[in-house]
């Protein structure tokens, strides 16, 4: 098969980790007889520097003309401490999600048995954890009207959801639950927020279409606790954009394998794959960033976007092998030999 | 001295744990020659059942006429799964916070050396953790305009902050930092939200008034991670209402001593003291709930509202003694003998 893949390296360590995912994907393509054409395009601070905006139309055109998008990371500290900056890298990310219609962000958290000692949690707490968040990605307070009034003295952000937005996300949640252990947790703050009450009543109304799925409803603050206490008690969780932002990051570190967690964002047509970790500016250019989350995002891409499970499995296998043989970056080296970002990528590609 | 204390037991285990705090407070008062008059009043589901609303005017009158408020817990599952309920216990809590002007919620997380093995985190991660959240409590999305349009198909919640609201909360944060290790972390989502940018710019502008305080700015998703990874790297954290709700609950479980964490809410005049834990409906009436968080909230009340540090210390001492001697409820019993809620309270009062 032939694929065009939009390649959005982005900022910070983005370009370095993306390079490794490209190498590994090419090796898989070669092995299975596929042909990938990579279509690099600008995003984030890199795009602001080059053309003045973080998600240029040219980049969007590349994405819609591709079969999938592989994405690195976005964000630069130069913008973070300047609350008055007019253009920000993150706006590019949000615009991209919106324009590509990527309303469902799939973020798994699972454990690698060989890395369980990396978890900040005690082994008995984390063991067996295998959960997936479905985070709504194109609505809520991220996209509602925001601004200032009273000469800048008052700021506001509007959180808005329609029933249809909740339904399409929840549908993906129910479907995912059906392929797993048939447990779905709807995370909201229905005791305070009207949008959460809409979420809860919409999901409640959908329960009868999926009689086999056992649905629970939990408040976001309670989930923030239980994720630390008993993460292995969860399976599929659905939630709105901002809660998803906070909880998926929290979940990603409990496994101790933050540098290994991939994610997918999907909507109607195109899907985007990216590591959960951010642009990690301090590590930029040092050849120390862990490329495995991006490599595993490429595995998700083969499986989900191209429906090629064997190719995905080949990537997962070689990642497991690198972990078993200690061909890892310093974050996983446990005082042993640490390989560079590039060296890990080379090893993975060579061992596919 | 003579004190009037409004006593709001609330729902679930509220009445049981409040009873123990009353006993212990009375014992301290007797020892130090004070006189407490308790003024019980209705809140929450209990108030809805009795008079149709969760924070009746009569209760408010009792609070404003008192020197402090001691509060149990609010919330009842009967309301949680009914998104269309018109009156909810939580509305009472929010109304109470607003009408009493309790804009600053102080939520410490610390460890008890004897309980460190209760933490879901590995010992080296949790050891030495001693942080305090200052959560803004009367603004943000909790109190902005909320409702439905499009015949109920669209829901919205407005998040609003004024500079003055940020300043008064941040001021308490800077002042608290000055009494501790002079480190302040402002938690926001300034890369996405306009209200967060107002928070960040307001705190930045205040830095020069407190040149000794080292201020850091972190995104809420990053803090959700680092709280699990290195909780002991934080000292004082300030944040807006909803982020505070999620993060303080997350923080409260990492110590393994959720059942021991007290909190205070203050504003201009009156202050309110309450355990961090909720109404724990499943345990209602079973005499198994841990009363220590409420008892320690009473200690905070003596220290903060009445400026009586010795009285507070007397309560803390007897709590430590109960832990050391194993006079604890089942959540802390470690397979040893578990005492009832009431028995723990009796023991504490007798040993003051
Ligand atoms: C960079 C930021 C805008 C983004 C978000 O909040 O969605 C990031 O934290 C994420 O989770 O992908
Ligand atoms: C009960 C609920 C409304 C409340 C809140 O969200 O503030 C509670 O979670 C808390 O943190 O005190």
Model confidence pLDDT, tens digit, residues A152-167: 999 999 999 999 999 9
For residue B59, how many other CB atoms are within 10 A of its CB?
Answer: 24
What gap in Å lies between CA A2 and CA A347, rounded to an integer?
Answer: 25
Indicate the fold that domain A109-258 takes in CATH: Isopropylmalate Dehydrogenase (3.40.718)
Q: Report pLDDT for B83.
A: 66
Q: Give Cα separations from B36 to B31, B43, B62, B295 (angstroms).
A: 12, 21, 15, 15
Closest Cβ–Cβ partner in A122, A191, A198 for B80: A191
The binding site of A comprises 97, 107, 135, 221, 245, 249
Q: Does A1-102+267-352 match A109-258 in CATH topology?
A: yes
- Cα–ligand 2 centroid distance for B233 (angstroms): 26
Task: Catalytic residue, from B19, B67, B142, B234: name it.
Answer: B142
pTM: 0.94
For residues B117 and B276, the answer to whether their CB atoms sit within 8 Å is no
- Cα–ligand 1 centroid distance for A245 (angstroms): 6
Contacts of A240 in chain B (CB under 8 A): none
Question: Does the beta carbon of A139 lie under 8 angstroms from any beta carbon of chain B?
Answer: no
> Given a cut of 70, is residue A83 above it in pLDDT?
no
Question: Does the beta carbon of B192 lie under 8 angstroms from any beta carbon of chain A?
Answer: yes
Q: Which CATH code fits B1-100+269-352?
A: 3.40.718.10
**Domains of chain B by residue range:** 1-100+269-352, 109-135+163-257
pLDDT digits (tens, 9 = 90+) for A269-313: 899 999 998 899 999 999 999 999 999 999 999 999 999 999 999
CA dihedral B208, B210, B216, B219 (to 10 degrees): -80
What gap in Å lies between CA B208 and CA B213, rounded to an integer?
Answer: 9
- CA A53, distance to chain mean position in Å, is 23
Question: Does the beta carbon of B286 lie under 8 angstroms from any beta carbon of chain A?
Answer: no
pLDDT digits (tens, 9 = 90+) for B35-65: 999 999 999 998 999 999 999 999 999 999 9
| Adjacency order of strands within the sheet including A68-73 | A35-40, A2-10, A68-73, A271-275, A262-266, A104-110, A130-136, A236-239, A183-188, A214-219
Greatest C-alpha distance within chain B: 62
User: Percent of chain B beyond pLDDT 90?
Assistant: 88
Closest Cβ–Cβ partner in B164, B197, B221 for A83: B197
Contacts of B194 in chain A (CB under 8 A): 146-148, 155-157
Q: Give Cα separations from A186 to A115, A135, A169, A177, A264 (angstroms).
A: 29, 11, 11, 12, 20
| A1-102+267-352 to CATH, choices 3.40.718.10, 1.10.10.10, 3.40.190.10, 3.40.50.720 | 3.40.718.10
Cβ within 8 Å, pair B197-A154: no
| Adjacency order of strands within the sheet including A154-162 | A146-149, A154-162, B154-162, B146-149
Mean pLDDT score across all residues of chain B: 95
For residues A68 and A5, the answer to whether their CB atoms sit within 8 Å is yes
Rg of chain A (C-alpha set): 20
pLDDT digits (tens, 9 = 90+) for A91-146: 899 999 999 999 999 999 998 888 888 899 999 999 999 999 999 999 999 999 99
User: Percent of chain B beyond pLDDT 70?
Assistant: 99
- CA B160, distance to chain mean position in Å, is 23
What gap in Å lies between CA A270 and CA A250, rounded to an integer?
Answer: 27
Confidence of residue B299 (pLDDT cuts 50, 70, 90): very high
pLDDT digits (tens, 9 = 90+) for A200-234: 999 999 999 999 999 999 999 999 999 999 999 99
Q: Report pLDDT for A137.
A: 97
Q: How far is B103 from chain A (nearest CA, A)?
A: 17
| Adjacency order of strands within the sheet including B2-10 | B35-40, B2-10, B68-73, B271-275, B262-266, B104-110, B130-136, B236-239, B183-188, B214-219
> Given a cut of 90, is residue B310 above it in pLDDT?
yes
Closest ligand 1 atom to residue B192 Cα is 3
B26 lines ligand 2 (CB under 6 A): no
User: Percent of chain A beyond pLDDT 70?
Assistant: 99
Confidence of residue B138 (pLDDT cuts 50, 70, 90): very high
Q: Report pLDDT for B89.
A: 87
DSSP secondary structure code for residue B53 in this structure:
S
Q: How many CA atoms lie within 13 A of A309 on its CB side?
A: 0
How is B96-120 classified by DSSP, letter by letter? HHHHTT--EEEEEEE--GGGGGGSS
- Cα–ligand 1 centroid distance for A248 (angstroms): 10
Q: How far is B144 from chain A (nearest CA, A)?
A: 9
Residue B81 parent element (H or E)? none
> Given a cut of 90, is residue A256 above it in pLDDT?
no
- CA A117, distance to chain mean position in Å, is 23
Q: Which of A94, A55, A161 is nearest to B192 (CA)?
A: A94
SS3 sequence of A247-312: HHHHHHHHCCCHHHCEEEEECCCCEEEEECCCCCHHHCCCCCCCCHHHHHHHHHHHHHHCCCHHHH
Question: Does the beta carbon of A191 lie under 8 angstroms from any beta carbon of chain B?
Answer: yes
B75 lines ligand 2 (CB under 6 A): yes
Chains A and B form CB pairs within 8 A to the count of: 194
B221 is catalytic: yes
Architecture of domain B109-135+163-257: 3-Layer(aba) Sandwich (3.40)
Cβ within 8 Å, pair A83-B147: no
Q: Report pLDDT for B245.
A: 97
Whose CA is closest to atom 10 on ligand 1? A245
Q: Report pLDDT for A255.
A: 83
Pocket test for ligand 2, best of B43, B107, B245 (most atoms within 8 A of CB): B245
């Amino acid at each position: 098969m032939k694929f065009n893949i939009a390649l959005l390296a982005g900022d910070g360590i983005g370009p370095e980790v993306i390079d490794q995912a490209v190498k590994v994907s090419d090796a898989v393509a070669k092995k299975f007889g596929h042909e990938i054409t990579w279509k690099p395009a600008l995003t984030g601070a890199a795009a602001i520097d080059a053309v003045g905006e973080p998600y240029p139309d040219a980049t969007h055109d590349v994405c819609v003309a591709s079969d999938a998008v592989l994405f690195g990371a976005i964000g630069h500290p130069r913008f973070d401490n300047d609350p008055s900056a007019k253009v920000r890298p993150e706006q590019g990310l949000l615009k991209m999600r919106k324009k590509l219609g990527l309303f469902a962000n799939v973020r798994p958290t699972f454990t690698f048995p060989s890395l369980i000692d990396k978890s900040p949690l005690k082994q008995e707490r984390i063991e067996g954890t295998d959960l997936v968040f479905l985070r709504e990605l194109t609505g809520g307070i991220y996209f509602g009207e925001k601004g200032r009034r009273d000469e800048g003295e008052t700021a506001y952000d509007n959180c808005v959801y329609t029933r249809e937005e909740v339904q399409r996300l929840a549908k993906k949640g129910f479907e995912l639950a059906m392929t797993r252990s048939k447990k779905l947790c709807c995370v909201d703050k229905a005791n305070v927020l009207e949008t959460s009450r809409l979420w809860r009543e919409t999901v409640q109304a959908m329960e009868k279409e999926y009689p086999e799925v056992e649905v629970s409803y939990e408040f976001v603050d309670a989930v923030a606790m239980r994720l630390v206490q008993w993460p292995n008690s969860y399976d599929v969780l659905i939630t709105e954009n901002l809660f998803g932002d906070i909880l998926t990051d929290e979940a990603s570190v409990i496994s101790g394998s933050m540098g290994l967690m991939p994610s997918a964002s999907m909507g109607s047509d195109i899907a985007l794959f990216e590591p959960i970790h951010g642009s990690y500016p301090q590590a930029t250019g040092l050849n120390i960033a862990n490329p495995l989350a991006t490599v595993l995002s490429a595995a998700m891409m083969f499986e989900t976007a191209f429906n090629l499970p064997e190719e995905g499995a080949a990537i997962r296998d070689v990642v497991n092998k690198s972990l078993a043989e200690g061909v890892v970056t310093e974050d996983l080296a446990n005082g042993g030999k640490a390989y560079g970002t590039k060296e890990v990528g080379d090893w993975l590609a060579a061992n596919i």
